[in-house]
Structure 1
Amino acid sequence: MTKPLCVMLVATEASGDDRGAGLAKSLRARLGDKVRFIGAGGAQMAAQGVESLFDIAQLSILGVVDALAVYPRAMKLVDQTVALAAREKPDVVVLIDSWAFSLRVANRLRKLDPAIPLVKYVAPQVWAWRRGRAKVLARSVDHLLSIHTFDAPYFEAEGLPTTFVGNAALKVDFSAADPARLRAEYKIAPEAPILLVLPGSRPSEINRVLPPFAEAALLLKASRPDLEIVIPAAPTVAEAVKAQVAGWPRRAHVVEGEQAKLDSMKAATVAMACSGTVTIELALAGCPMVIGYRIDKLTYALVNRLVRRPITLFNIAAGEIVAPELIQDDCTPQALAREIALRLEDPALRARQVAAQFAALETMGRGGPDPSDAAADAILKILAERTPA
């Protein structure tokens, strides 16, 4: 009997967990019990049969200061990941998100066994900054699965085969989302405006982004008593979010789970969102938003001159600022509250922004093939090309 294909999936962030789960599900649909999974991921990958080697919340970090703080622990987890591969001898390794962690694992695995196909799923954003990373990645892995149409030229120029599979965030299904269900569950009146607060999925984001978001929300609530505040909490930070919100002087509803998140996105009048994948999901839901972000001061000082603006993908696709971006020193409670208030008070402004967001999503490839299926097909093609005839 032929042994099952062994696929190693490594994801360390909530968005990577989602992509890893989608890829595992698609591979399982094609291969059934002829595939097994090992690696690291979160709750979504676990639901698809990927038993995680460690708690990925340990690596949900951003910025120089955070990276230095967890460096010794991260190196131990790199050791554990490589040891797992040495023991299980996977047929292919797919490294998702987390540039620094993925690169270290890839380089170690390359030395361990040069024959193992190494695939990077999601490219570093070299079109925004640090173009030299394309050359570094080309030396470290065998293939790239990209989620943006504009990735390939940067990496193929360095000799790295690249397959565009699409962005899973563009395939989020809102057909079962029910705004009325959310309002009923949390006793929110049908006509009450809802401010959605999305502070991120990393502990560092909760520490740096949630405080100005919270103050802005409370400023708005003070002048609008009927405003309801809803906070969808990612699994990686749910307890930290609930702990902070418990001390607020005004009520806010913390919701957990994917269905509740989708319900809240459809129900929201406007959102205050941390920069990231969630902005695409909000745009798909037809929710106007204001985007904010903060990182540690040292990292910002190092990268500020290197990063091209805007940073939000649908703003880039649109070629204009569709949703305001309040970054670092501009991400103040007062500025956030002012931009949110404009949208709460002006239905026409909300409608124009939603229409512009939808147009940008079309440019990004909304309606294309399922990214998880495309990624699964690419993985199987890579393996087939390496199998002797």
Structure 2
Amino acid sequence: MKDNSLQGTRRFRVFISTGEVSGDLQGALLIKALQRRAADLGIELEILALGGDRMEEAGAKLLGHTSAIGSMGLVESLPYVLPTLKVQRQAKQYLRQHPPDVVVLIDYMTPNVAFCSYFPKHLPHVPVVYFIAPQEWVWSTSSFNTDRIIAATRKILAIFQEEANYFKRKGGEVVWVGHPLVDRVQAAPSRAEARFSLGIPTDQTAIVLLPASRQQELKYLMPVIFEAAQQIQAKLPNVHFWVPLALEKYRWEIEQAIADYGLRATLLDSNKGQTTLQAIAAADLAITKSGTVNLEMALLDVPQVVLYRVNRFTAWVARKILKFSIPFMSPPNLVEMKGIVPEFLQDEATVENITQEAIALLQPDRRQKMLADYQEMRRAVGEVGVCDRAAHEILDLLDYDRS
């Protein structure tokens, strides 16, 4: 390893690659943990990243901004191919001139699996860690990505026990650390605190709507979610909706949709200190896209209805040609492969289904059943300190004891 000494203090370079809003959040949590661990070890870190604003705020130097160029599906990914290739090319050029001491890949399947081919070939002495690997343990498809990941990585840090078991069976070096959201929700306010800060009366029914963290979701998910909200509003005159904003660039479209559907809704404004975590903590229910945020809701004991849709051609290819099949899609259900929250995928994601489930989950019996299932699930996602455990495993690969 190269001599990275700096005025008597060992200095190491860490490269982290992730994308989309959820990856940016998880990357920021990890960066803070890496910095804590580095301080304990008496070393300094230079953190380079492909990521977003949260990671930059946490202390990373961004080599490319990737939080807004993610997609899910075949047709949906086409507009992002060139931007993704561009930021990866920029990162590779920089890293060839400034080699990292360790590489951490977080989620972001296609670009990061490509890195699994790149680093062993061009920077073979740099250890690679994959944190939150692609979910081939869930999909009924080939293990092509799994094989590439195992061949490229020194460690796989698993967030689910079933994920850890899968990669171990395939021959990977795996450590189960738990899910990083276990750490994040420690900062969440109580329900009473969240309602007070958002000005929600104690007797008001508050429903969080999470329609989009990707551009495609504004087209495929927001209309069905907002129409279901419209129907719920007609049945429950005391309801008010809260809509977190994943990215500022979505503001105009969401504001326009709220007006078009005539919803009694508030779009959260981070400039006023209104956060997604606050809205979730204050809510009686969430109607949400499938994603990492589903687990956040479960950890905060908020009942939820989950849905996802993609382009019809993408869905047809996945089903008929790739034979794509999943038992579950949302993280709360994946923890123990058990149906805890209702999921509606593609043609099942109808206004009627969503409305019916939402109304049912506002009733005490259904709510209590889901909260009991959440409690059982919580034991399987790891103890607090997930990101610190991950940081320990990552920095343990550095030769920081060498004089």
Answer whether TM exceeds 0.5 for this pair: yes
Deviation at 1:58, TM superposition (A): 3.9
**1:169 & 1:316 partners in 2: Cα distance?**
15
Aligned with 2:55 (options 45, 50, 53): 45
1:20 aligns with: 27
Where do 1:319-330 residues align within 5 Å? Answer: 319-330=337-348
Does the 8 A contact of 2:159 with 2:381 survive in 1?
A: no
**1:139 & 1:308 partners in 2: Cα distance?**
25
1:264 aligns with: 279
**2:88 & 2:78 partners in 1: Cα distance?**
15
Does the 8 A contact of 2:162 with 2:335 survive in 1?
A: no
1:343 equivalenced with 2:351 (yes/no): no
1:2 aligns with: 5
2:74 aligns with: 64
Deviation at 1:155, TM superposition (A): 2.5
2:324 aligns with: 306
Does the 8 A contact of 1:14 with 1:236 survive in 2?
A: no
Does the 8 A contact of 1:6 with 1:91 survive in 2?
A: yes
Distance 1:315 1:63, change over 3 A: same
Instruction: Name the stretch that deviates more: 290-299 or 176-185.
Output: 176-185
Where do 1:57-206 residues align within 5 Å? Answer: 57-129=67-139, 130-132=141-143, 133-174=145-186, 176-180=188-192, 182-184=194-196, 186-206=198-218
3-state secondary structure, aligned to 2:393: helix
1:374 aligns with: 389
Deviation at 1:223, TM superposition (A): 2.4
Instruction: Name the stretch that deviates more: 76-85 or 308-317.
Output: 308-317
1:276 equivalenced with 2:291 (yes/no): yes
| Letter paired with 1:23 | L
Instruction: Name the stretch that deviates more: 347-356 or 231-240.
Output: 231-240
Deviation at 1:154, TM superposition (A): 2.9
**2:59 & 2:334 partners in 1: Cα distance?**
36
Instruction: Name the stretch that deviates more: 106-115 or 207-216.
Output: 106-115
Unmatched 5+ residue regions in structure 1? none
Does the 8 A contact of 1:57 with 1:236 survive in 2?
A: no
Does the 8 A contact of 1:201 with 1:237 survive in 2?
A: no
**1:383 & 1:67 partners in 2: Cα distance?**
36
3-state secondary structure, aligned to 2:286: strand
Deviation at 1:68, TM superposition (A): 2.1
Deviation at 1:183, TM superposition (A): 4.0
Aligned with 1:359 (options 376, 379, 382): 376
Does the 8 A contact of 1:194 with 1:227 survive in 2?
A: yes
Does the 8 A contact of 2:290 with 2:307 survive in 1?
A: yes
| Letter paired with 2:241 | I
Does the 8 A contact of 1:78 with 1:104 survive in 2?
A: no
**1:92 & 1:17 partners in 2: Cα distance?**
19
Deviation at 1:177, TM superposition (A): 1.0
**2:313 & 2:220 partners in 1: Cα distance?**
14
| Letter paired with 1:282 | M
**2:195 & 2:132 partners in 1: Cα distance?**
36
Q: Deviations over 1:212-249 (max 9, x none)?
A: 10110011112222110111222366525345335432
3-state secondary structure, aligned to 2:302: coil
Does the 8 A contact of 1:195 with 1:271 survive in 2?
A: yes
3-state secondary structure, aligned to 1:57: coil
Instruction: Name the stretch that deviates more: 17-26 or 236-245.
Output: 236-245
| Letter paired with 1:214 | F
RMSD across aligned C-alpha pairs, in angstroms? Answer: 2.4
Instruction: Name the stretch that deviates more: 271-280 or 248-257.
Output: 248-257
Does the 8 A contact of 1:196 with 1:229 survive in 2?
A: yes
3-state secondary structure, aligned to 2:157: strand
Does the 8 A contact of 1:318 with 1:359 survive in 2?
A: no
Does the 8 A contact of 1:12 with 1:41 survive in 2?
A: yes
Aligned with 2:36 (options 29, 33, 39): 29
Where do 1:213-224 residues align within 5 Å? Answer: 213-224=225-236
1:250 aligns with: 263
Deviation at 1:295, TM superposition (A): 1.5
Q: Deviations over 1:287-330 (max 9, x none)?
A: 11111111122222233342221223332445542211111101
**1:327 & 1:170 partners in 2: Cα distance?**
26
Deviation at 1:142, TM superposition (A): 3.1
3-state secondary structure, aligned to 2:275: helix
3-state secondary structure, aligned to 1:39: strand
Aligned with 1:55 (options 43, 65, 76): 65
TM-score (norm 1): 0.90
TM-score (norm 2): 0.88
3-state secondary structure, aligned to 1:155: helix
**1:157 & 1:292 partners in 2: Cα distance?**
31
Deviation at 1:373, TM superposition (A): 0.6
Does the 8 A contact of 1:134 with 1:154 survive in 2?
A: no
| Letter paired with 1:348 | D
Unmatched 5+ residue regions in structure 2? none
3-state secondary structure, aligned to 1:53: strand
Does the 8 A contact of 1:39 with 1:53 survive in 2?
A: yes
Distance 1:327 1:141, change over 3 A: same
Instruction: Name the stretch that deviates more: 256-265 or 286-295.
Output: 256-265
Does the 8 A contact of 1:145 with 1:375 survive in 2?
A: yes
Does the 8 A contact of 1:9 with 1:40 survive in 2?
A: yes
